[in-house]
A = this chain, B = another copy of it.
């Protein structure tokens, strides 16, 4: 009964109120639940199962590039956080502070890690002595805490799950190579597994990570035209190494500072998936990261042979993540649930189909119905999952292309930001002042300086001075 009420009540239309649509989908697809801990969410089984598949795919890609996993402490002593000046300025205002352990006050307060650069530096200082100890290429899967004021499921919460990679290298070149390598890993993962096309580029100095020399980003475009920073990769140069004293004896027998990187992707990716692929019936999950890829739904399941046929079809689909919905709810309810949860394919099998040796496959993304001989179902579902994965990416790519605009001067730039439609490409002089003006006048930010540069005009659209770069601008989550 409780179930029924929940699903029958429709979700808000995304065209009417995108924000409310997003929240409705998060709740009604059973991904999260609000907890009584302000700003923190409960990730429910249906949401966590997606995160597990994200972890699996991404972790395999990491390990192929030589990454090893480790685990560092949850706490950072205040003095450690303060060692790198820019870094502490960036993070100290938004951390949670532990002041008591057991019944006693701590002599020095600890923050709950908002990110672990300082901890990895402290660790590397003890581990790295010689060039033979390099490179160090570690990653950890954990949760971090940032005391956000406004929170939304997956997009911004006081605690979130992520992976953070931290590496140390002998040279700046090697650090730069790793920084870009990991950005490419993210782009490849997002495009091929999540079916989310991205723009790769470098953050401006204003937008880069606290303490980084260079921050690279993969930016995705949501259905409502807003940008979402989907993963970042930072090159720290030797800044942290100097602050923490991490040196190694080189082949030349001299002491050198190491060069470091870090790179991360969070549960926010689930938010991106919702907002890139979802529709007015709920989630649409790309097959590669769908916890259930196929659901078999019997029609008139009390009729002789139907339920057995459903089980047999499910059995023949055991190469995929398959489920049979044999509950006593109506087929209509089951269809709605499959759609809400974004299960890529449903197989309908009723008495008439059974007689004809057939069943019906229904794609979640297009709702296309495909008749299929029961004996062909495994091969057909396999094909269909591949097709859906590909089509979802192509559709998202088309949306990205159609919502990327060019502005050659300030008028066009202003026009492009009259409503939030997408990315706006425009030339920039390179100064922070113009970036701040864009924020002020258009409530937009620089998303990245894309690796693929174009020359749209000679001058900065804001100040008219000579342009140095083309920038992707947008309104962000």
Contacts and interface: CB of A to CB of B under 8 A. Distances in A.
B98 A112 contact: yes
B2 A132 contact: yes
Given A43-B70, A44-B70, A133-B2, A97 B99 contact: yes
A13 interface: no
Contact of A95 (B43, B102, B119, B122): B102
Interface string A43-84: 111001101100000000000000011111111110010000
A3 interface: yes
A42 interface: yes
Contacts of A133: 2
B80 A112 contact: no
Interface in A93-151: 93-103, 110, 112, 119, 122-123, 126-127, 129-130, 132-133, 138, 142-143, 145, 147
Interface stretch (A31-39, A254-262, A330-338, A362-370): A31-39
A50 to B, nearest CB: 11
Contact of A45 (B49, B52, B130, B138): B138
B37 A110 contact: yes
Contact of A98 (B73, B98, B161): B98
A40 interface: yes
Nearest to A59: B52
A116 to B, nearest CB: 11
A129 B1 CA distance: 10
Interface string A152-163: 000000110100
Given A37-B75, A37-B110, A97 B98 contact: yes
A77 B96 CA distance: 13
A44 B41 CA distance: 30
A72 B122 CA distance: 29
Contacts of A161: 71
A127 B40 contact: no
B102 A100 contact: no
A33 B159 CA distance: 26
Given A97-B99, A98-B97, A123-B42, A36 B80 contact: yes
A448 to B, nearest CB: 28
Which of A94, A101, A145, A161 gathers most chain B CB within 10 Å? A101
B74 A159 contact: yes
A75 B70 CA distance: 23
A103 B149 CA distance: 12
Contacts of A44: 70
Contacts of A100: 96-97, 99
A101 B96 contact: yes
Contacts of A70: 42-45, 48
B37 A77 contact: yes
A7 to B, nearest CB: 13
A40 B74 contact: yes
A143 B74 contact: yes
B97 A68 contact: no
* The 3 residue pairs across chains A and B that have the minimum distance between CB atoms: A45-B68, A40-B73, A102-B147
Given A36-B80, A45-B68, A51-B71, 17 more contacts: A1-B130, A35-B72, A35-B119, A37-B77, A42-B72, A48-B70, A48-B71, A49-B68, A75-B159, A93-B102, A93-B103, A95-B102, A96-B98, A97-B98, A102-B147, A112-B112, A142-B143
10 contacts: A2-B132, A33-B123, A35-B73, A36-B80, A37-B77, A42-B123, A43-B71, A43-B72, A74-B112, A74-B159
